[in-house]
A and B are shown apart, each in its own frame.
Chain A
Amino acid sequence: MSDEDTIGAGDRQDLTAAEYVLGVLGAEERRRAEFRIASEPRFAAEVAYWEARLGPLAGAVPAVAPPATVWDGIEARLSASLRAPAERGGIWQSLAFWRTFAIASTALAAASMAGLVYLAQVPSLGPPLLAQLNAESGQASFVAAVNKEGDTLTIVPAALLTGDQQKAFELWLIPPGDKPHSLGLIDPKKPVRITVPESLLPQVNRDAVLAVSLEPPGGSPTGQPTGPVIANGKLASL
């Protein structure tokens, strides 16, 4: 039986969601799939479809009672940093959480606090759009604010990002149902102001997704994200 040629390229494309759910993809492919979950509603729906269909396989796994120390650890970590669920609690709780977090980390704290104070003190920049960019773990990595004209975006690191010094951090705008558009490189250690290119101005609105990917020095050579997506989040009005 010829195993190789019976599945067309179309099917391959179709099955990425299933392969993600099944767990056969490598780390980078998983990041790419998560990027698509955040930016392509159809792909996200397909992932949900396969999770519902394959999920029952977990019924075969015997339940094992975890030790009490697991819950203790959860409680301790909740008390330490998370006063309210970020997604529901809204961006200001997240900022409060982030501020607490950042104060603990010296150099970063100074830079990021400056960013926040800047945002807070310039009334004309009362930001109508905010996004919290979370890592896949749910940890907030960046907070972004768009000024009310929609033409300037400030992005502030919300966590200490350790990583490959050789990589550049590139910011992307993904309008619903569209491909990512580069907003340029950002600095993982300090706030950066970005002037939104005129062609993208109409796209900077609610429900557009911001994402940060790791790219070669100088940024993506292709104009599309080539490296793993380390954080993403949706723009929302206050």
Chain B
Amino acid sequence: MPRAKQRVHLFWAANEAAKPMDAETRRRQLAAAIARVAGGDRAALRLVYSETSAKLFGVCLRILGDRSEAEDVLQDVYLTVWRKAASFDEAVASPITWLVAIARNRSIDRLRSSAGSRAHAPLDAAAEVADEGLSALDRLEIGEDQARLKDCLQELEERQSAAIRSAFLDGFTYEALAMRNRVPLGTMKSWIRRGLLKLRACLER
């Protein structure tokens, strides 16, 4: 910002420098808390819960589309965190990635076991929420990766990226996605598989 007054410039510079450090600090704190959970520390589980439960509840709610189901699954999620904390490996995944994966897997398993009869947001909803503002947690934990993923998704055909988003956020099967989009199953599989291949190529550039 060349025209900004020096004072203002310094303020922003200080803020910008502080942000990534906060992210790193927060990530480390969360990883350390998970390590303590692995040692049987309940207070640490409480800490992980208070830091991440709103995000994970949002994820469960989005997939399950039902509040009481999502609350039930969220309990399972943190009990899983309690049991599996020792298998968390910081070298493999960031804490939030690991937690989101548990929340999604539990939710999807619940969805598959309840015969999939639910009212659900339409496919377009995925595109709508994709541009919503990020929560503080996202900015701190996954903001950078998110920007990169977004760029790569934009390189895909619209229908490919919409299908990938919807699958991830809503937990739809290939069959459900094909029905919702009124295309044959093979076509939907092809959209997603080609989208994934292109995505991988882009992310590895």
List residues of A whose CB falls within 8 A of some B CB: 3-4, 6-7, 11-12, 15, 18-19, 21-27, 30, 48, 51-67, 69-71, 73-75, 77-78, 82-89, 134, 136-138
Contact = CB atoms under 8 A, between A and B. Distances in A.
11 contacts: A23-B108, A23-B172, A24-B167, A56-B146, A57-B169, A58-B169, A60-B126, A70-B75, A71-B53, A77-B75, A89-B40
Nearest to A89: B40
B108 A56 contact: no
B154 to A, nearest CB: 13
Contacts of B71: 66-67, 69-70, 73
Interface centre among A12, A24, A53 (most CB of B within 10 A): A24
Interface stretch (B4-12, B14-22, B192-200): B192-200
Contacts of B109: 27, 30, 136
A138 B79 contact: yes
B87 interface: yes
Given A19-B192, A53-B149, A85-B84, 8 more contacts: A3-B187, A12-B193, A23-B168, A59-B138, A59-B143, A66-B54, A73-B75, A74-B49
A56 B172 contact: no
B120 to A, nearest CB: 13
B86 A85 contact: yes
A75 B54 CA distance: 17
Interface string B170-201: 01111101000000001100111110110110
Say whether chain B's binding surface is mostly helix, strand, loop, or mixed: helix
Contacts of B49: 71, 74
Contacts, number: 203
A152 to B, nearest CB: 29
B87 to A, nearest CB: 6
A220 to B, nearest CB: 23
A6 B183 CA distance: 18
Say whether chain A's binding surface is mostly helix, strand, loop, or mixed: helix
Contacts of A23: 63, 104, 108, 167-168, 171-173
Contact of A78 (B62, B79, B93): B79
Contact of A85 (B75, B83, B129, B131): B83
Contacts of A53: 145, 149, 199-200, 203
Contact of B101 (A55, A66, A84): A55
A144 to B, nearest CB: 18
B168 A22 contact: yes
Nearest to A20: B105
Contacts of B194: 3, 6-7
B1 interface: no
A15 B83 CA distance: 29
B13 interface: no
Nearest to B142: A56
Contact of B57 (A19, A59, A64): A64
Contacts of B54: 63-66
A138 B84 contact: yes
A12 B203 CA distance: 19
B169 A85 contact: no
Contacts of B87: 87
A66 to B, nearest CB: 4
Nearest to A55: B97
Contact of A62 (B129, B146, B187): B129
Given A24-B192, A51-B97, A88 B85 contact: yes
B199 to A, nearest CB: 7
B83 A55 contact: no
A21 B199 CA distance: 14
A58 B52 CA distance: 13
A24 B197 contact: no
Contact of B196 (A18, A59, A64, A136): A18
A148 to B, nearest CB: 26
